[in-house]
Structure formats: C-alpha cells, structure tokens
Amino acid sequence: MTKCAELANLIGNINAGGGGTNRNVIINGAMNVFQRGTSETGIGGSEIYVADRFKVIPSGTAGRLTLTQDSSAPSGFANSLKLDCTTADTSVASGEVLILAQRIEGQNLQAFAKGTSDAKPFAVSFYVKGNASATYVVELYDTDNARQVSKSFTVGTDWSRVELSFPADTTGAFDDDNASSLEMFIWLHAGSNFTSGTLSETWSSVTNANRAVGISSFFDSTDRTFFITGLQLEVGQNPTSFEHQKFSQTLQQCQRYFHTVSGAGHPFPVDSVYSRYITHAQTGNYQVWFHEYPVEMRATPTLTSDNITTSTVQFFNYNTQTNISNNLTGTSLSNSGKRHGHIVFSFSSGSSHADQVSWRWNNNPDASFEFNAEL
C-alpha cells in the first residue's frame, strides 16, 4: 500500500467514525504474546489456546496440527502464528471444522454502532502465507443477535497482505458488557454442513451452509502450512496499516483474560537468594497466599494448578526455621475477584494457625498457577 493510499484510507475511516489510535479491536494481532508456551503439538481433538487471545477450534476431524510462534514474518513484524498439519484428514465428514478464532467483548465494539441507523462498516486486514495456494474464509459472527457475514481470501507461498471490507449492519446491536459479542473466525477446514450453500457476504441470520463456502482444506496434506500475523479489525470501509503497540501494552491487554505465575520465571536463585511469597496461616493446616493480579481481569478467573507438588514448591516455616515436610495435598482459589485472589495450600500436617510461612519455586520451570478469564 502506498503512503498516499494509506493516508486516503485513514482519512476515509476517520470520516466514517473510525481511525486514530486504539483502532484495532483485535488483541495480540502481531502474535507477540504466548504466555502458555510458544508451541503445542497434536492439536485437533479439543479447543485450545496457545497464542494469547487466539483459540483453535477443531471439531469432528481426525486431522492434527502443531501450532508455534514462528520468526518468519513480513517486513515490520518479528513473529507470526504458524499451523503445520501433522496428520491429514482427506475423508471430510459433514460436521468437521477447523477454525482460528478470537472472541471480542461487546464493550470494545460500540464504535461500530451496529444495529443503529449510524452503523459503521468493518475493515479486516492481515498478512498470510502457506506452503501452496489455498482459499480460506474470514467470518464475523455476531453472538448477541445470531447474525454473520463471511469473505474469502487466498494464500500463496510468499507473504501477502489481505484486505477485506465487511458492510455495516443496521440490525442487532452489540451488548455493552464484558461478554463475547463478536467472534472473528478464520475457517481453515470444514465439512458440507458449512460449505454447501452460497457464501454469505452480507449480514444475515445464521445459515450454517453459507458460512465457509469455497474453502480449501488445511488437513488435505501433511505438507500444508498456514502462517498469519498483523491481524487487525477496525471501524471503516478501508483497512489501514497495522497499529503496532509496545510489547508491554499487548501483554497487559492479554492478562485481562489470562495470566500465569510459573516456575519458569524463577527457576534458580539469583545471588543465592530465592524469590519468596508470604502466606498466612489458617486453622486446619492451610496456608493462604494473597495474589494481586497484574491487571483487572475480565471476570473472576478460574485457577488451574499445573504440576504443583511437594517437589516443585517449597515452604519455609519461620517459627521453626525449617522447611515444611512433603505433605502438600492440594491448592484452590478462594475469595477471588477481578483484581486479586487467595490461593489456598492444603497440608496433611506440619502447619499451624500460629506459623509464619513463605513459599518459593523449587527449581521446576514446568510448574505454574494459571488464572483464566477467557471469553
């Protein structure tokens, strides 16, 4: 895109009610934040997040893939999301799907004025490449009103920029809350239930057969790859250049939905000193750690304790000046809100109400607490 064309698009979008800073409602579109890890193998049996805010949704398929953060990227970007087919599925059943999705809160979509006489168009842009030519579909799915619109795009072997314009919709407003109102779906594989009709390129009530018409199958060969980065959704008729952010800004946006406290951050002592977290004792062999979240989360999170065992965390009793013996029996989240929570450590013995205790990671980068408020 030339500078003149870019400026014209931006001015046009500003006139349409968009443009300016913070115009991209997609989070982590540059594929820089991967809090859960930068790779995952064997994807295909269930839904999963790997790149922050992007969910892989497979259903009914025998195909499998590996997802990684990849350093191959177009000029101006450092990273991309890469999908690599590892198990093909060429016998496609009618209900099969493979979708890369991001769900967006309604309160972040009010500038589109959807469902009003002043409704604004949607502009989508991103960069893609693959191992061979292919056709896929971007769908905007209004979950509040069961309406959708789809556009197809092509992928080649070199990085190319895709620009898609979706019309305004004067029917059905987005709810102004923290729930999912719009889902951006990138359809990569689908059975006839979703491909047997006519592609719905204007907003309409959902007809499944019209959602992904004409797409290739990502699972047609183990040679198949798909790379994407620079994903942007903004108000306006014309996509503008990608809105880059500082890494810290994107990380904070992602932490509204998910964050982790892990042994990977503190695997070994610095200058022979470990980072310690103070706990408060409760009657009945419990220790409570007060954890303040890095940002206010979208909703009260759920806690997943991964590999939290007597060998991955260590507790020190200041009263007795000794480590608490290997008697940790479990962890749970209590009195949690959007800003903080109490992580309760349960012991079979060795802790009393009067004890002053701290805990630290015990040289295990695979142990973690995960706080999840995803849509």
Render pLDDT for 200-239 as a digit per residue (tens, 0 to 9): 999 999 999 999 999 999 999 999 999 999 999 999 999 9
Mean local confidence (pLDDT), 174-201: 98
Distance from C-alpha of 282 to C-alpha of 84, rounded to nearest angstrom: 49
Note the pLDDT tens digit of each residue in 255-265. 999 999 988 76
Cβ proximity of 223 and 90 under 8 Å: no
Distance of CA 251 to the CA centre of its chain: 11
How large a percentage of the chain has pLDDT more than 70?
91
In order of their start, the domains of the chain are 3-243 (2.60.120.260), 258-372 (2.60.40)
Note the pLDDT tens digit of each residue in 137-178. 999 999 999 999 999 999 999 999 999 999 999 999 999 999
pLDDT of the residue at 168:
98
Mean local confidence (pLDDT), 280-287: 81
pLDDT at 323 over 90: no
Note the pLDDT tens digit of each residue in 50-59. 999 999 999 9
Regarding pTM above 0.85, the answer is yes
Note the pLDDT tens digit of each residue in 325-342. 768 899 999 999 999 999
197's tokens: 């009709």
Range of weakest confidence among 18-27, 78-87, 110-119, 332-341: 18-27
How large a percentage of the chain has pLDDT more than 90?
77
Angle at CA of residue 42, ends 224 and 62, nearest 5°: 70
Question: Is 216 or 313 the better-scoring residue by pLDDT?
Answer: 216
pLDDT at 348 over 80: yes
SS3 category, 255:
helix
pLDDT at 271 over 50: no
pLDDT at 252 over 60: yes
Find where tokens 């959708």 sit.
148
**HSE toward the beta carbon, residue 221, CA cutoff 13 A:** 10
Distance from C-alpha of 167 to C-alpha of 220, rounded to nearest angstrom: 32
Distance from C-alpha of 66 to C-alpha of 73, rounded to nearest angstrom: 18
Q: Which amino acid is at 170?
A: T
Sign of the torsion formed by the C-alpha atoms of 301, 306, 309 and 311? negative
pLDDT at 67 over 80: yes
